[in-house]
Chain A
Amino acid sequence: MAEIKTLLAVFVDIDPAAHAIDKLRELGVKDEQMNVISGIPVTEAMLGRPRQWTNVPRLAMGGAVAGFLLGVFLATTPLLYPYYVGGQALVPIPPSIVVIFEMTMLGMLIATFLGVFLDSYFPSYSPKEYVPEISDGKIAVLFACPALDEKIFEDAMTALGAESVKVAEAQKL
């Protein structure tokens, strides 16, 4: 069984990182086996990476629906326990719109927030592959390669401008 090693190559700028990713593809690393970690959001288009899927918009819609239903419930509770105030109807439309709107927005925003947590598996305090230089604006390419070819990959990355290439160790962040 071929041993697989995970290497971390740190680049200073976007262009070398983009070339490096092309090179990795040439060397046979599949897109799913690569990950890019960066200090600022670098779009997938800039690096030639496949588009990242995210559930956050769908979760936001789901939250909006849940909030809407909550708002409808709150606005229609007088049907369960009728009370008449100020000669207004039991469930008047204008106040109901206010309540339903607020609860819909609340639902959507809470769902969006929690969606980030859910999709990113936050909070997660287990050891991870990371180097602190990343928050200094560097771009790190994390990839899996056969252990036997480690030197080839290392040389290729360094030739394209990697600041450092080392075995990725999962460490406490």
Chain B
Amino acid sequence: MDLVKMAKGEEELQGKWGLVIDQDLCTGCQACVTACAMENNISFVGEEDVAYGRSMHWIRIERFWEGEYPDVKATPFQPIGCQQCGHAPCEPVCPVMAAQHSESEQINLQVYNRCIGTRYCANNCPYQARVFNWRDWDRPDPLSNQLNPDVTVRRRGVMEKCTFCVQRILRVEDVAKSEGREIKDGEVVPACAQACPADAIVFGRLDDPESRVSKLTRNSRKTILLEELGTLPRVTYLKGAANHV
């Protein structure tokens, strides 16, 4: 029984928008984390809550090491956010349908004003990509001037997660439509890709075989996280260069 053949169609299998993260280029600088927080109006949680596992970052840099001191070897940093799964386990479990699949953009949507905060979706995400608004954190003036008007500001009690900067996708689509042209490859740049100094994050159309992203997904170093679960993520990782320190 081929999982691939069970997919509804080529589009679902392949997806539309995709992300490639090159772990061999990633320096772990956390610029993507910062940029994402600025772009998406993420709250400032504070040291105590973050230490207890309540950080609100939509993308996190995971770092591990192998071996015992002093022979410690750092393994590649792993930036991980929502994988925008084709068969997302978070979607069917929401009782009020706040976790939806966008048929047009082939990404996973979180509808903030529908969420009643059961947190089942977060439990069911194998990548632990979802974060929850545990409190109404302060955003004292003049910090509120920094808010992005394209993105909802979330209250306490609501789940959220990486949206592939869907506000930027929609803006570019609007502009392209009003100019009567197709979207160019590389025109949509999510905040994390924009900020990365090592150009480790690449975003684009997976259904266009000539796009930069598609070409990278055919790279020999490609790996998919937790592929055995059959979630069909739209994020591909590149890992395994021999010269990594």
Provide a sorted-by-A list of 7 A–B residue pairs whose CB atoms are within 8 angstroms: A85-B97, A85-B99, A85-B101, A86-B88, A86-B101, A87-B12, A87-B87
Cβ-neighbour of A87 out of B86, B99, B100 (below 8 A): B86
Closest B residue, CB atoms, query A86: B92
* Number of chain A residues whose Cβ lies closer than 8 Å to a Cβ of chain B: 6
Assembly CA distance A122 to B172 (angstroms): 67
A65-93 interface code vs B (CB 8 A; 1 in, 0 out): 00000000000000000011111100000
Q: Verify if B39 is at the interface (C-beta below 8 Å from A).
A: no
Number of A-B contacts (CB under 8 A): 29
Return the contact of B103 from the options A84, A86, A88 (Cβ within 8 A): A84
| CB <8 Å contact, A85 and B7 | no
Please report the C-alpha to C-alpha distance between residue A71 and residue B227 in the assembled complex, in whole angstroms: 36
- Chain A residues with CB below 8 A from B24, complex form: none
Q: How far is the CA of A85 from the CA of B88 in the complex (A)?
A: 7
Q: Provide the residues of chain B in CB contact with A84, threshold 8 Å.
A: 101, 103
Q: Do B97 and A87 touch across chains, with their CB atoms under 8 A apart? A: no
Chain B residues within 8 Å of A83, by CB = 97, 100-101
Of A86, A87, A88, which contacts B7 at CB under 8 A?
A87
Q: With a CB–CB cut-off of 8 A, which chain A residues contact B101?
A: 83-86
B99 contact set on A, CB distance < 8 A:
85
Tell me the nearest residue of chain A to B12, going by C-beta: A87
Contact B87 A86 (CB under 8 A): yes
- Bound Cα distance A56, B7 (Å): 49
Contact with B along A98-112 (1 / 0, CB 8 A): 000000000000000
Please, which residue of chain B has its CB at the minimum distance from the CB of A85?
A: B91
Chain A residues lying within 8 Å of B7, measured Cβ to Cβ, are 87
- Asked if A85 and B12 sit within 8 Å, CB to CB, the answer is no
Which residue of chain A has the shortest Cβ distance to B92 in the bound complex?
Answer: A86
Residues of chain A within 8 A (CB-CB) of B232 are 87
Q: How far is the CA of A86 from the CA of B232 in the complex (A)?
A: 10
Determine how close the nearest CB of chain B comes to the CB of A12; give it in whole angstroms: 59
CB nearest to B91 among chain A residues: A85
